[in-house]
Amino acid sequence: MVYFLLVVFGLLSFTSSQISHQYHFINIRKNWTEAQRFCREMYTDLASVNNEDEMNRLFITITDNSYDVYAGLYRGEVFRWHWTLPDSVYNEKTFQNWEKNQPDKNNNEGCAAMDNNGKWFSDSCDTQRQFVCFNATKTYILIEKNKSWREAQEFCRTFHTDLVNVRTSSENQDVKNTAKKDVWIGLFKDPWLWSDQRNSSFRFWNSSQLSNNRRDRDCVTVMVNQTGQWNDVECNTTQPFICHGDLKSQSTTKPATTDTEGGHRSTQPTQILTTGAEQATTDTEGGHRSTQPTQILTTGAEQDNLILVRENLTWTEAVTYCRKHHVDLVSIHSEELQNRAARKAIQASTSHVWLGLRYTCRFNFWFWIKNREAGCYQNWAPGHGPHGYEECGLSGAMESTGGHRWVGRPESERLNFICQICTNAF
């Protein structure tokens, strides 16, 4: 769940230090640079990953497997050495035990091994040799099978903890005594960097892509059909992406623009359904998306301040979209505004549409996110709202048909939604 920085009647306040690493799947196709800009504006940055647990949490946020998904890793210009564990720093101040003239600074051989004298040397990661794993109790295990460096790492991560990381002279001696021959250790060299400048050495490459050194593929995607393994792609490819961090409070009004194919901006909605004398393009059959990723419906000559977005997003993604392109998810404080929102909802392709209504389980009440107030006007369905069924993780939605009453829905559901736009009416 995403926790907002809220001040409701002066009672509620959260700080980012209380929030663990949060991932957010953004189901809008952008190139890598546009995705990075979006994440930095709306959250913290494109996603970085420190370990397998975080990788698993990132992967399960992906709810649409139509496209691979951008993460925050990109190719830099300088090759750097890394230990495989995120808490094992490699630099000029840490323990090193290279052979003479090693590592060769003019050679980008990417993996390190230890010889029978305990000295380190760099070699091609594809070389087949034995290796040393370690487990949680820092026990060293010699694996007497010849494998490439990455095959060795996968074996160690599957059956133990990882390839051995050597941080002190004492550890180096213990590994030497365990191996007594040339073995892989958990030190590798690559040019990849994280967008948020995090010093994470975690890598999860798809093995079929490891030999690909094309310099036009400088960005990384999570492969949705390969259990989250990574692939390098051209950065101008348009794909969904993963952000991390808290959703930022958006105080500035966003212009009523949409994303078009290729991630470019347009000052007009992608598709508009109008009523009245002036005709415009109609929606595709069955509410499905056309070649452009966002469909927006409005009435009249856009004289009111509401707009229906026929994109199936979670509640948090809907908040992100409205704040990015318009003002916010709609807040309803009067019968007149309720009626206008209901006229939009009729045209939705989902049974309900998201509203800017949120439940806080900490203080046990519903509030509108735009002004942080509970509001006086209400149109709750029986069994919902302040006197109905409530639990953490609920957000407010309106029925698309019938009485257009409000209900609490799990915020992970994917629904159409209504944004408020900036007009002279406000």
Which two tokens mark 72?
Answer: 């925050």
Q: Which of 254, 259, 263, 262 is nearest to 271 (CA)?
A: 259
User: Is the per-residue pLDDT at 266 higher than 50?
Assistant: no
pLDDT 10s digits, 179-232 = 989 999 999 999 999 999 888 889 998 876 554 455 678 999 999 987 889 999
Strands 352-360 and 415-420: parallel
Average pLDDT over residues 322-342: 90
Res. 284 pLDDT band, cuts 50 70 90: very low
Residue with tokens 């004398």: 277
User: Is the per-residue pLDDT at 35 higher than 90?
Assistant: yes
CATH 3.10.100.10 domain locations along the chain: 18-244, 258-420
Residue 45, C-beta contacts closer than 8 angstroms, at least 6 positions apart: 36, 39, 72, 195, 196, 243, 244, 245
Res. 31 pLDDT band, cuts 50 70 90: very high
pLDDT 10s digits, 62-107 = 988 889 999 999 998 888 899 998 778 887 889 999 999 999 877 7
Residue type, 264: H
Q: Among 4-13, 347-356, 363-372, which is the least confidently predicted range? A: 4-13
User: Is the per-residue pLDDT at 305 higher than 90?
Assistant: no
CA distance 416 to 55: 29
**What fold does the segment set 18-244 form as a domain?**
Mannose-Binding Protein A; Chain A (3.10.100)
pLDDT 10s digits, 105-133 = 777 778 999 999 999 999 999 999 999 99
**What fold does the segment set 258-420 form as a domain?**
Mannose-Binding Protein A; Chain A (3.10.100)
pLDDT 10s digits, 337-353 = 998 898 888 888 888 99
Q: What percent of the chain has pLDDT over 90?
A: 45
Q: How many beta carbons lie within 10 A of that of residue 262, not counting itself? A: 12
Q: Which of 196, 190, 193 is nearest to 47 (CA)?
A: 196
- Give whole-number Cα distances, 171 to 7, 91, 168, in Å: 51, 17, 5
For residues 249 and 236, the answer to whether their CB atoms sit within 8 Å is no
User: Is the per-residue pLDDT at 288 higher than 50?
Assistant: no
Res. 17 pLDDT band, cuts 50 70 90: very low
Q: Among 38-52, 247-261, 383-397, which is the least confidently predicted range? A: 247-261
For the entire predicted model, the pTM comes to: 0.54
